[in-house]
Structure 1
Amino acid sequence: MAEQVELSPINTGGTSFLRSCFNGINALTGIGLITIPYTLSQAGWLGLCLLLAMAFTTCYTGLLLQRCLESNPSIKTYPDIGYHAFGRKGRIIVSIFTYLELYLVPTGILILEGDHLFKLFPNVSMEVAGIYIGGKEIFVIGSGLVILPTMWLKDLRLLSFVSAGGILSCVIVITSILWVGAVDGVGFSSKGKLFELAGIPTAMSLYAFCYGAHPVFPT
């Protein structure tokens, strides 16, 4: 007779409420919120109406997502929702778009990181085996190597501590901006525009980026 092997139970439970809130807040802060002043300079003060509209839209779709997840205990991810709505084809199509977004968004973040660091340190470059590597490429590779160990975490609940770094960095940047404006004498003299039609597309894309955390909500 074949020997019976007792399998250890799989932990299918979720994280705690506080950790979920913490990760959710971190997902909704960062680059998106910091770019709001630039967005206002492009679309004007009335562009804030787009921010409110985006907030209401994403809040409503988040509630719809909650209803989908609670409609059936077996629904845990977006592909599961696609399967229950449209069958196997729905699961495949939703999976393709979900994984594309989860791949392309970090790629865009790495490119932004490389551009920003290169602005701060424009003279960085190196040559390896006769191949010239520019500063942007160096910072993109370096940022990727720094982030890579977080991909090896076996317990995803530990990501809540990684999220603390994101919130801390956002607080530091905002504090630095307020310090430069209020203490260092730069001031806040710019009044801005009331409305600029040409800046609406830019404003919509940046405001959408502020509320781009839907892919991680089911998790």
Structure 2
Amino acid sequence: MSVSPSINPYPDIGEFAFGNKGRILISIFLYLELYFVAIEFLILEGDNLQKLFPNAKIHFGCVKIVGREVFVLLDAIVILPTTWLKSLGLLVYVSIGGVLASIVLVFLIFWVGAIDGIGFEEKGVIWRWDGLISAISMYTFCYCGHAVFPTICNSMKDRSQFPKLIISY
């Protein structure tokens, strides 16, 4: 991307490196990856919420949706409008909501365990440190938008700051 300012997303990089076939191949892999990550997210959310609310049901006339499918459908309905945003800048507010929800969730889990005494019986290992860095980096890489790195770089006012962004990421 530093070679030519006209190179923006990964398909442009593929075309620059390998021609039109490289562009097509990278586009196919990129969009398949994004599609499968979205499907994986819906399945994970459906499974987790179904375990929390095992008796969830929705009835539409003679159509009955139960269990995991209820939550996959609800998650898709909630997430779908975020794919229609015209500016990536608006996703900042969605991301802030996710970060705040995660902070509140961690706080509540510690509150219930430490103050209410539910779940902590001081037996066994509290925290397994081995593999923590690998797990965090895997989730960060898979779910935190590595596919949009070129677009982020090119939308920055000062592109020379991109390496600092990546290090902090």
- 2-side partners of 1:195 and 1:166: how far apart? 25
Deviation of 1:129 (Å): 4.4
Find 1:122's aligned residue among 54, 58, 75: 54
CA contact (8 A) 1:79 1:91 kept: yes
Change beyond 3 A, Cα 1:191–1:83: same
Q: Matches of residues 69-108 of structure 1 in structure 2 within 5 Å?
A: 69-108=1-40
Amino acid at match of 1:210: T
The aligned counterpart of 1:191 is 125
CA-to-partner distance for each residue in 1:82-122, whole Å, 9 max, x for gaps? 11111111101100000001111111111111111111111
Residue 88 of structure 2, aligned match among 156, 178, 200: 156
Unmatched segments (≥5 aa) in structure 1: 1-68
- Cα RMSD of the aligned pairs, angstroms, is 2.6
Q: Which residue is equivalent to 1:145?
A: 77
Change (3 A) 1:168 1:205: closer
Residue 141 of structure 1 aligns to a residue in which SS?
helix
- TM-fit CA distance, 1:206: 7.2
On the 8 A contact 1:181/1:188 being kept in 2, the answer is no
Amino acid paired to 1:84: F
Can you give the 5+ residue segments of structure 2 that lack an aligned partner in the other structure? Answer: 152-169
Greater C-alpha Rg: 1
Match of 2:64 among 132, 138, 146: 132
Structure 1 residues 165, 133: closer, same or farther in 2, change over 3 A? same
Q: TM-score by structure 2 length?
A: 0.74
In structure 2, which of residues 144, 147, 166 is the aligned counterpart of residue 215 of structure 1? 147
Measured in 2, the distance between the counterparts of 1:195 and 1:154 equals 41
